[in-house]
Every structure is written in C-alpha cells, then in structure tokens.
Structure 1
C-alpha cells in the first residue's frame, strides 16, 4: 500500500477519533484529604474526613465520555487512604479502581496519587475510601455521570441528588477495636448514633407544583439499609446502579448500602402543604436498638416554605412490615437478554465464625479474606507466564482466575441470619434468581434453617434480568448472578457492610490475567506510593519474587478452634485463663509486698546476742 493511501487512512482515523471525542472534556479535581470538624445530626461535634478543609465532600460531576482526573494528597497525618469510584468499570484502567492491597498500595500520610480514567458510562454512582476502615468517618460522596442521550433526559425540569447514610459519633478506629475483640465474640456490629439525609437532618427539598424532578438516590452509609418513600406520592424508577430501566411505578424502595436509584417524580398542582420524605432504618440489621436511636426520620418535599413541616407517622411495629418494590422485577431499558449457560460457576456460602483469637470473622466458604503482602494486580503484572495460576495469589485471598469472555455464574448462599449487600467491582451483573424475594416473605427463612440454591428446583430465570452492581443477599436465603468476564482486571467481590468487609467477607476475581498484562500500565507514581508505604510491589502474595509458587510467609487467617470447643467455651476459657493470671499476679505482688515490709522492720544486729525491744502504737513492748 502506498504511503499516500496510508496517510489518507490515518487522517480518516484521526477525524473519526476526533468525532467520537467531540464534546468530551477533562474534568480535574484536586483533593487534599484532611481532618475537619462537623456536627451533621446536631448531637455531637466530632472529627470527620474532609477534602480541602470542607465537609460534606464535593460531589463529582462529569458528562459521559469525559476524562476524570482526581489528584489526591493524604494530609490526614495518622492513616492511609485511597479512592474507589464505586460502579466505574475502569475498563483498561484497573490500576485506578482504588482498593488498597488489591489494585494499589495505601496512600500514606504525606503521599499523593493521581486517578485518571475515561468515564464511558452513565448514571448515579459514588466515591469512597477503600483502605481498612475509613469511609464511615465521612470519606464518601456522590459521583454523577450526566447523559444527554438518556431516554428520560428531557422529561424532567430539575434534578436533585439525595444521599442517605448511617452516622457514628465515635471514630472508626475506636469502634473497630471494640468490634474485632475478644469481648465481642458474636460479631455484633457497632450501632449507629443517627441516620442522615444529605449529610444532615430535618432538611427540605424545594419543589414547584406541576413539575417533574429526577431524584438520584444513594445510600453511602457503612452498615444499615434504609426504606425510602414520600407521603402521598408515587414515582417512576428509571435507573438502578447505572442501568437505565423501563419506567416502572413504585411508592417505596429499599436502598441497601452502596445501592443507587434514579426516580422521576411528578409534583402535585397545589402548594397547600409539604410532604414528608420518610426514611426508615432496617432494624433487622441491629443487634439492639438504643432507646435514643431514631429509626424513622422525616425530611420534606417542600411545596411551600411557610406551610407546616409535619413529622411523618410510620405505622409499623418494625421494618419487616414495610414492603418495597422488588428490584428484580425491573427490566433494563436495553432489554439485554439472559446470558447463556455459564462456562464457570462459583458457589460460595456466607458464614460468621470464631477463630482461635476468639474474634468473630466473616467467611465465604472456609476463607476469611486476608490481604496479601503485594497488591494482587501487581502480582499479576510481575508474574509473567504464571499469572494464570491461582496459587500465586495466596491461600487466603480467595482468588478465582476467570478466562477472558467466559460467562460466569456466581451462586451465593447465606448461612447467616443477617442480610448482606454484595458488590462486584468492574461489572454490572444480571440478577437471575433470589430467594426469598423482596416483599412480605423476605424474612421467611430468618428463624429457620438456611435454604441454599437448588439448581434442580428453582423458579424460571427471567428473559431480561435486572442488572446492577450491588444486590442484597436475604437472611438464610441465596441469590444467583451472571456476568461476562469481558473486563480484564483484578476485581473484588465483597459485602459492602464495612464491618463485614473488614472482618473478611470478600474474594477476588482475577479476570483474564494475560490480557491484564497487555492492557494495564501502572504509573510510576503508584510505585512511588508503595515505596513510601514500605509495601512490596513485585512477587506473589508472600512477596516472593524468586519462586512464585513458594507462599512461605504469606499472611494467613488465624487458626481454627479445635473440635470440642464451642464459641462460648473458648471465650470462657480465655476469660478463665486471664482471671487466673490476674489472680496469680495479685498473690505474687501482695505477697512480695508483705515480705518486703517484714524485712524493712528488722534491724540488723552487730551483736547476735543483743536484744531489741520494739514499742507499738499502743505503748506495748515486745522483744
């Protein structure tokens, strides 16, 4: 082919690429992450994680197709951090996903890191810290991707972003010490102090009559799901977790932590009164309910700021009496059909168990996720031809290697009495079965034995299943999801209750590792962050660069309690041993003190025949 033809072809390619990028722009945020003080519920002022001296944090807003650049500097002084852009596919930019020791090293105080990727999707998302326990201290906020091509884009007059969350008065570092403790053998999660809407309470959202509004709803809490409804109003669901849906009428939603909805609401033709926006915390997740904890909270859809703002009356004994719309009934607007039979099925069960430490851990099958010594993505990048071998990723990261473009079916059974919102990084998945479904029967299995998924006895899978990136696992029930492994990367699958993630309820999908090596480029700055943190960035899970199959020295979960010991028994034994040690120490200390006192009362004699006469306080004498 002549050079002139090649030049013309290159020119056409450039024009085509330019046409694709018309309207796209680079949106840059500079984040200095520091401590600030705030009092969102009006009950207690406390330290929170702020950005650029402010809290609540800034909402990130981009248009579909934009390049998003976030320059992060850790100015906290006492902890590492990172950012996960929740729901972003990061296709080709796995290194920008954000979970520490998975796709990057933690950003230590004084270090900086740049996240840089193109947003080729649309909808309602959020961002949060993904390093140890960190986002419950306030390090979370909305991320909105506007899309002028959305089918409902011209059907509303204005949009609002509404976040709901639980809130703690104590710092997470203090709560985490109490949570993972010998004194908490049942694994009871810390109880929130209050519940917020848009990081405050008693707030009003001003609306006009005869208007249509798009509300983007996000639960960016750490623990508790919440029911959401607006008195005397219904609405249309048009999006879940970034997936447009056929417009579907509903009057109540259940929003677990990490889930998002977009709804269209048509206002009434009057301004006579204001209407309660009601949120009800899911009481089934709480081991106890303090008398001063307000589960039902009222904010307002404000038609008239001068009209009364009445408190909602919630006529239910507890949250199990509320019946939200079943998200599995939603039909994606693109009508993507049910994926074909899977090439690979992953079958795991949630358990909560105690180990030899006496602490309560969370498990998928018999593994409680334990972070490796090298971020798993960096193990992929440094392992060469061994990248396809799951052994190099460690025995306790629960890593599964997926073949490129395989259809993967994941069956998750629940051996626990709590519900769990599970999130998969890098993907939206089809939810093809869940039992029990939302509605009156959602807690049917709560007081009985677990009911696992039976491949030979289940309801028919939907033709066009709902898709999302976070789905709730019912108590003692199960769900089944499918996705295509078409996004090479290291992706975490985990419970989004932050207490459960930190106690090990996670596993890793090593998706198409050879393609990862071809497509991913880790910036030098990211390696510099590892050096500053003293974290290895080459080698297997044990940081062994010479023999990737030698896992000696890998981080491991604590040992199992020997047969014959119950949880109560091991805790009782631990306390008995502790009491015995304290008792022995007391005897020794007080015994030695008595000997010392007696020794001090003896006067040394130069003459062994000399008689010493002592006089006590009453004047009596003794020899």
Structure 2
C-alpha cells in the first residue's frame, strides 16, 4: 500500500499534540460565603471552596478538563456553563439547566468532562435560575503555544468587568417580573466592579508589552473601556484571533471578551488611569448615588500618585464589525436555512413583563431538551416534540444557518450562541429598522466577516449572523442580559438530533441529578414517552393580554385600582370609628354651624 509522504508530518503533529495534552482537574465545592466587594454592604455571595472571587480556570488547547462539582448551597440547584466553548461531541456538558442537564440539587455531585479544541479568552458561570449575578462567574483562559501573537507580548493581565447588586438575584427577579413593574424596568446595579473589587492597580514595567484579556462577566451592563494616553491593539474577540486593530475606546457587552496589546511607555514618572464605564443608556433610572465607573491604574511606580481620570465628553466606540479573522475565513455560502427572530418586550395576561422572540417567551419544559432529542427516536427531527415554548429550531447536519434578529425594542441586546461562533455579516445602526431580505445583497457583506459568539444588537435595528451546523447538539441562542433571559428571550437550536443519538450517552450523574430533583429525563416536552406528538401537559407561558392593553394602560389601571381601594378603605375606616364624647360635641357644633335648625342637644 502506498502512503503519501504528506501523511508523516500530519501524524507527527498529532503525536506531539497527544503528548502535550493533559488532564486538568478542578474540584469545586459551591457554597455561600460573605463578601463586600464595593465596600458598601456585606452580603452572601456564591463562592467556590469557601472563597470569593471564584478562581480563574486555566488549561491548554487539547487538554481534557474535569470539573467535579458539589452543590452545598442548601437552598438552590446550580449548574456550570463554560461560555464560548464549543463542547464538540459533548453537548451534554454545556450546562444550561433544563436544556442540556437537570439542575444539580443541593447535596448532590456532578462531573463536567470535556476536551478543549480551541484557545482564547472565555469564562464560566451558573446557567440556572438567573443565579450568576450572585457571584458564580469567573474567567476561563485556554492557552495555545501556537497562538499568532505569542511573541508580541511579555506578560499577560486578566481583567473582569461586572456590575454589582446588594440584593440577591432570587430577591430581585420576583420584583422585576412583577405586575407592579409592567414596563419591565430592569434592576439597576448598586456599583461597578473591576476584578470583583474596586481601585485595581496593574504594575507594569517601562517598554514592555502586555496582553490584556478582558471579560465582561456582568449580567446587564455593557461597558466602555479606555486607557489614558495608551493605545489598545485588539488581537482577539470571543476566542477568535483577528488581525491587529488599534482602538482608543472599546465597548464590551455583557458576556463579550476582548484581548488587546498595550505597550508601556519608556518613562516611569507617571501612572495612568484606565476606566470601565457602565452603559447607563440601558438603565431606566439613574440613581444619584450610583458611581457607574470603575477605575484602575497602570502603575509604572508605586511611588507615583494614581491620578484622577480625566473627564470624557464623548464615547466613540471601536466598530468590531471591521475586524478580520487571522485565518481569513471567507463568507459562508448562501444559507440552507434562515431563522428570523423579532425581539419584543411586552406583558402577558398576568400583567407581568416578558421578553419574546416572535411572540414566544421561552418556558422550560418538563424534560431537558437534550434528553428529548436523545429519547424520541425519528420524531426528534420534528420541532413539536420539544414543546412550543422551548422555541426550538431543528438544524440539518453541516447546513449553513443564517439568523436574522430584528430589534423591535429600544434597548441594546448582546446575543450569544452556544456551541459555535458565528460570522457577523451585517448590523444595522441604531434606528435602522428591520432587515429587508428582499433588498439585501451579498455584495454588501464582508468577504471575511468578523467572528465571535456574542454580538451587540442596537436599538430598533438588526443583526445578521451565519454559521455552519457542524456540531451536533442542543444549543441556546439568547440575549446575555440575564434579566432578559429570566424574561424568556431565548430560542433553542436542536442541531442534527439523529446524529446526536448515534454518539451521545448520558453519564449516570445526569440521570441521578434528575432523579434527585424529581425531574423527568425521557420523552417529549410533556414527559410523554408513549406518544411523542402528544404534548398535552407541556409547560406554557401565561396567557396573552386582552386586546387593547398596553404597559401604560396597565400602569394607569393599576394605580386607578389602588387609589379606589385606598379610598374605599378610608371611608370604611372612618365609618367604623367609635366617636368619643369630645368628637360628638365637635360634630354637633359643626352641624349647627351649617344649619342651626338641625342642631339638637342630644344625639
């Protein structure tokens, strides 16, 4: 048998990769701990192994990561999602509760086991009950000895951005999704954090170049970032290396990541501020006591004063759509399937505010969607088996998929796709309106589109994304503002379900977690294992509002009802009072003054 000489270099590379690969094990005991990151209030936060902030996870491309989780929260289930990792061949390790697994009940153990085939800047967080704003989130760095910029910097700095709340998520969510908040005003944070603290100092040496890996681990606010008197050279977004691009200010939406190079000055007589400023246009109200900036300093010398940041009167962000991937991957061909999703924020019949894709607000089903895909046989290709309110789309294996998102809302939304990055081929400017596919032309699309896994959609505008469905699994597509996830701004991509059935076997601890939580783990969305097309009993969203109701109408009706009830209560209270003698005499004098003829000496 003839063997091509080109085979030997490939074999050698594979042997080297296998020799270098390692197994990285993390043992995570998830518990409540006390913390005061902004110096304003001590509160319970979710920590790992009795510590908070939680550790930064690290591994190298081709490593296997094993995370042994023990949930000791006592009062909540939990999961872990490794944001941005494709989980090729292991969709069951993706982490969203009631999507790829059951929540891990308190007192239970669960193991995540997956191999890394990508490098870059990522993060991990809980994907259960809007929980991660309470602190269960941290950076995840995957090193690559062959990364294209490894010879261009001397040291690495990891910085996380977030907002912080003094109340726990499970207190805030019921207040937020409530009929007394019909306009859906999201909870405004109490503080901005940098590396889960404030006033961060980064020691640097003159003349050296640093690669900053910056991760927005927040639940809500995008942040503007700038370094005074220093230029950022962007080299990576969301785990994808791009050709160097200089920027003076960048915008990092919730869940996005940027890596950039900064070269230190040769002089060491000054320190310089850098600022991370929350996007306050996302907030319905701006409390007078909110400091929406977090400040750090590039410290050339500990003996130098850390200066007050200069006032910035205009925030002009770098346009990430102009980036070109270093692999120069060309525009994917015309899509085999196009999914159009319209973003709507509205109320349902219970008066509470929800978020919708195409008038459907996501509702978890009785069976995790992945388990339905694995246990419904040939019917797994029928979207109906996953339940209407999982908002599932079945994708063909290796097909090119296009997702068009039209924002019918006046706020920004950072949209994230699990299991893939995507080509960002079009984004409308603010108030551009909806995407008109009939008038679009691919001649206007970039030849080598920027790729990432989370893209910010502007108010009253659109985005167009394209990816190849080459990773069988169940993957969410959702806004990464956690309050909007809680409201239901989610769709489900069920990718090549029949392929999944050939390759995936659920580990025992998946089934054990479901049993411990009394959750079904087979059948359609209604847990029907006999007739997969009988969806009777599948969870649904609340009924719609009666025609003609609007949020303002709800507010007016609510206050009218409250006012009427208070008025009736006052009348009833007054009528039930037992008037004393003095009050009776006063009443007789009042009546006599009105009409002396009606005055009597006795009552």
Please indicate, yes or no, whether the TM-score normalized by the shorter chain is above 0.5. Answer: yes
Matches within 5 A, 1:21-32: 21-32=18-29
Q: Secondary structure at the match of 2:512?
A: helix
Matches within 5 A, 1:184-195: 184-195=181-192
Is it true that 1:565 corresponds to 2:549 in the alignment? yes
Could you give the per-residue CA deviations for residues 263-299 of structure 1, whole angstroms, max 9, x where no partner exists? 1111100100000111111111011111111123321
What's 1:136 paired with?
133
CA distance in 1: counterparts of 2:13 and 2:266, whole angstroms = 48
What's 1:602 paired with?
none
Q: Secondary structure at the match of 1:22?
A: helix
Cα RMSD, aligned residues only: 2.3
Query: Which deviates more, 571-580 or 217-226?
Result: 571-580
Is it true that 1:494 corresponds to 2:494 in the alignment? no
Quote how far apart the aligned CAs of 1:513 are. 0.3
Q: Which of 403, 408, 419 does residue 401 from structure 2 map onto?
A: 408
Q: Which of 423, 447, 452 does residue 435 from structure 2 map onto?
A: 452
Q: Which of 527, 536, 539 does residue 552 from structure 1 map onto?
A: 536
Q: Secondary structure at the match of 1:124?
A: strand
TM-score normalised by structure 1 residue count: 0.88
CA distance in 1: counterparts of 2:182 and 2:129, whole angstroms = 21
Quote how far apart the aligned CAs of 1:36 are. 0.4
- Alignment length, in residue pairs? 572
CA distance in 2: counterparts of 1:177 and 1:481, whole angstroms = 33
Q: Which of 53, 61, 86 does residue 64 from structure 1 map onto?
A: 61
Q: Secondary structure at the match of 1:396?
A: helix
Quote how far apart the aligned CAs of 1:58 are. 0.6
Check whether the contact 1:128–1:139 (CA below 8 A) recurs between aligned residues: yes
Q: Which of 353, 363, 373 does residue 356 from structure 2 map onto?
A: 363
Quote how far apart the aligned CAs of 1:572 are. 4.0
Could you give the per-residue CA deviations for residues 330-355 of structure 1, whole angstroms, max 9, x where no partner exists? 00000000000000101111010111
Is it true that 1:228 corresponds to 2:201 in the alignment? no
Quote how far apart the aligned CAs of 1:45 are. 1.1
CA distance in 1: counterparts of 2:75 and 2:557, whole angstroms = 36
What's 1:504 paired with?
488
Check whether the contact 2:376–2:532 (CA below 8 A) recurs between aligned residues: yes
Quote how far apart the aligned CAs of 1:18 are. 4.8
Q: Which of 278, 283, 287 does residue 281 from structure 1 map onto?
A: 278
What's 2:447 paired with?
463
What's 1:5 paired with?
none
Quote how far apart the aligned CAs of 1:450 are. 3.5
Check whether the contact 1:453–1:479 (CA below 8 A) recurs between aligned residues: no
What's 1:431 paired with?
424
Q: Which of 31, 46, 56 does residue 49 from structure 1 map onto?
A: 46
Q: Which of 529, 533, 540 does residue 517 from structure 2 map onto?
A: 533
Quote how far apart the aligned CAs of 1:588 are. 8.7
Quote how far apart the aligned CAs of 1:315 are. 2.5
Gapped runs of 5+ residues in structure 2?
2-9, 579-601
CA distance in 1: counterparts of 2:557 and 2:523, whole angstroms = 40
CA distance in 2: counterparts of 1:322 and 1:562, whole angstroms = 43
What's 2:504 paired with?
520
CA distance in 2: counterparts of 1:46 and 1:61, whole angstroms = 28
Quote how far apart the aligned CAs of 1:104 are. 0.2
Stretches (4+) displaced over 6 A: 13-17, 578-594
CA distance in 2: counterparts of 1:237 and 1:324, whole angstroms = 13
Is it true that 1:420 corresponds to 2:413 in the alignment? yes
TM-score normalised by structure 2 residue count: 0.91
Check whether the contact 1:358–1:571 (CA below 8 A) recurs between aligned residues: no
